[in-house]
Amino acid sequence: MRSAPPPPPPSGAPAEKAPAPRSVTGRVLSVLDAFAGERRRLTLSDISRRTGMPLATTHRLVGELLSWGALERHRNGRYEIGLHLWAVAAMAPRWLELRDVAMPFLVSLYRETGRQQVRLTVLDGMETVLVERIGAPDTGGAGEPVGGRRPAHTTGDGLVLLAYAGATVQERYLVHHAPATGLRRVLAEVEGTGFAMKGRWPGPGDTKSAAAPVRDATGEVVAAVSVVPGAAAGQSALAPAVMATGRTISRALFRRQNGA
C-alpha cells in the first residue's frame, strides 16, 4: 500500500535559489541522500534545504518517491525511508552475503561477552556503515541504527577499516576529515596489531570499543567486527574474543566465496 501524496508546499514560502542544473536521476538520489544524517524523519522543508532544491521541485520528487514506496509519510507529517526501498536495498548481494555469513558468529560473540553490544561495520568512502548490530547500547552515541553512518576515525571499527584501506584512502581521509597528527600513528599501530581498542563516538563522553578485521577470500579486509562494552565492562578483556570472531567470520567467508 502506497502512501498518500504529499500536501502542497506551503504558500508564501521564501524563494529558493535554484541549484546548478542536475539530472533528474541526480535530484532523486539527492532526496534519498538527505535521509543519511542523524534525523530519520524530515519535513518537506528539511529535504528542500538539505538538497538545495526549490520547494516546488522537492514536493514533486517526494510525491513520485512516495508513489513508488521509496518514501513513506509518517502520521506526524514528516517523511521517512519507505519499506519498498529498504526491501530492495536489503538484497545488495555483497553485504547480504557478508551479513548472512557473519550472523551466527555475531550471536555467539554477543553471548560470549555477556551480552555486550556487537557490531558489524563496513567502509563506504569516508564513512563507516553499520551492517548489523546485536544488543541494545547502554552508552551514549553508540546506538545508531543499521545503515547508520559515522566518520571512520570516530569509531574503533572505523579505525580498523581505515588501517587496512591502503595508503591512498588514508591520505585522502587525513586531508579531508582529520588532522594527520596522531591518527596516522594510530592507524599504523592498528595495522600492526590487527586490533583497535578505543574509539571516540559522537555524543557525550567516550565510548570504548574493541574491534578486529574481517577478510574475504582474497585476503582483503572488507568489514570490522566490534564489541561496545557496557559501563561496567572493559574493552581489553574482549580482545581475544573479538579477534577470534574476526578470524572465524573470515574463514567462513572464504569457504562461502570458494564454494566450499
CA nearest 114: which of 246, 242, 233, 239? 233
What are the structural domains of the chain?
24-89 (1.10.10.10), 93-257 (3.30.450.40)
* Dist CA 233 CA 140 (whole Å): 15
d(CA 23, CA 92): 25
pLDDT tens digits for the chain (260 residues)?
455 556 555 544 444 444 443 688 888 988 988 887 667 789 999 999 999 999 999 999 999 999 999 999 988 889 998 888 877 776 666 677 899 999 999 999 999 988 889 999 999 888 888 889 998 655 444 567 777 888 888 888 999 999 999 999 999 998 887 666 688 888 999 999 999 886 544 443 345 789 999 999 999 999 999 998 875 555 667 889 999 999 999 999 999 888 86
- In whole angstroms, what is the distance from residue 90 CA to residue 99 CA? 10
Q: What's the pLDDT score for residue 21?
A: 39
Distant-in-sequence, close-in-space partners of 73: CB < 8 Å, separation ≥ 6: 3, 4, 6, 66, 79
What is the pLDDT, as a whole number, of residue 12?
43
pLDDT of residue 155: 85
In this structure, are residues 172 and 184 in contact, taking their beta carbons and an 8 Å threshold? no
Give residue 35's identity as a one-letter amino acid code. Answer: F
* Per-residue model confidence (pLDDT) at position 126: 86
Q: How much is the pTM?
A: 0.69
What pLDDT does residue 206 have? 45
